[in-house]
Structures are given as structure tokens and as C-alpha cells.
Amino acid sequence: QHLVLAKYLPRYYASAEEASYPCILKPAVGAYGTGAHILNKSEDLYNLTLGAVLEPRWVLQESIPGRNEFSTSFLVDHGVVLDMVTMRYEYDGEHYIWPRVLEVSKELCEIPDHQRDVMCSFLKDYSGICNFNYKLRSDGEMCIFEANPRIGADLIGD
């Protein structure tokens, strides 16, 4: 099951040489994009980390291009979804780190059953609120780049 779900997560890079650019460097622990950077070349990584070993302080991961991002919040009781809501956001860039990007539009939306089922696979036996942020890859498959055991920050302000 874990390997099946891994295809819905960003690719992880262990080094600058392994990465595809642009990519994202972010602290292993953090929130709201604090300390996260878009890297366009390997030299950017060395300039930010001064050549230090990435783990356990940093995560280097794939950046999924696209102006549209989805935020789905679930209310779950022992793995059973009681309610869910999804917002679709359009931003003014292909590669960005929220909130350092201009929002063009937002709307409540319905998502395909397949996307809901993927996220529910992460919620087996879970109880509480969980929020997923994701984009769609060029082949249409979702890529979940963030999951938090709280309501989405987007709904707090909306």
C-alpha cells in the first residue's frame, strides 16, 4: 500500500545532482512556506545550505508546475469521512511557494472520486480533521505535497 501511495507524492531528491530543476528546498519542519525556496539550478542549493548535508534539516523535493492548486479538508471518524470540502485556487505562476504568490481566483469545487479515494487511503483509522494540498501532474494524476492534521489555512480565512 505504501509504495502504491508514494506515486501521489512529490519525488524526493537526496542531492543536488539527483534533482530535476526547478525543485523545492524546504525545512523538514515548518509551516506556511517559511524557509522554503524554489531552486533553479544546483548552485542555488549549495548557496542556501553552504554544502551541508540535507537530512535531517532539509527536504529537497520535486516542484509540480501549474497555476492551479487544490486544498481538500476532511472531517474523519475512525477512517470514515463525515464531510469534506475542496477549494481550487489559481495563482499567477507555474512554480511558487504559498503564500508568496498572487491569487488570481478561487472557487469551491467537486473532485473526481479517484482523487478522494487516494486521500482517503491516507486516512484509514484516522479521526479528526485533515487537510491535503495538491496539484495535478501533466498526466492528470494528483501530487499531494502537503498533509496536515488541521483545517486548511485557506478555510480559516475564507
Chain segment 89-144, per-residue pLDDT in tens: 999 999 999 889 999 999 999 999 999 999 999 999 999 999 999 999 999 999 99
Whole-structure pTM value: 0.89
User: What is the pLDDT, as a whole number, of residue 157?
Assistant: 58
Band of the pLDDT at 11, cuts 50, 70, 90?
very high
Name the band, by pLDDT with cuts 50, 70 and 90, for residue 155: low
Res 51: pLDDT: 84
Name 14's Cβ contacts closer than 8 Å, sequence gap at least 6. Answer: 54, 60
In this predicted model, which residue has the larger pLDDT, 80 or 157?
80
| DSSP notation for 87-121 | EEEEES-SS--TTSS-EEEEEE----HHHHHHHHH
Is pLDDT at 2 greater than 90 in this prediction?
no
92 contacts 105 by C-beta, under 8 angstroms? no
Looking at residues 38-54, what average pLDDT do you find?
A: 92
Taking the C-alpha atoms of residue 147 and residue 158, their distance in angstroms, rounded to an integer, is: 19
- Confidence (pLDDT) at 154: 65
Q: 147, 156, 118, 155: which is closest to 31 by C-alpha?
A: 147
What pLDDT score was predicted for residue 158?
52
> What confidence score (pLDDT) does residue 31 get?
80
Mean pLDDT on 75-98: 96
Which of 30-34, 50-54, 101-105 has maximum average pLDDT?
101-105
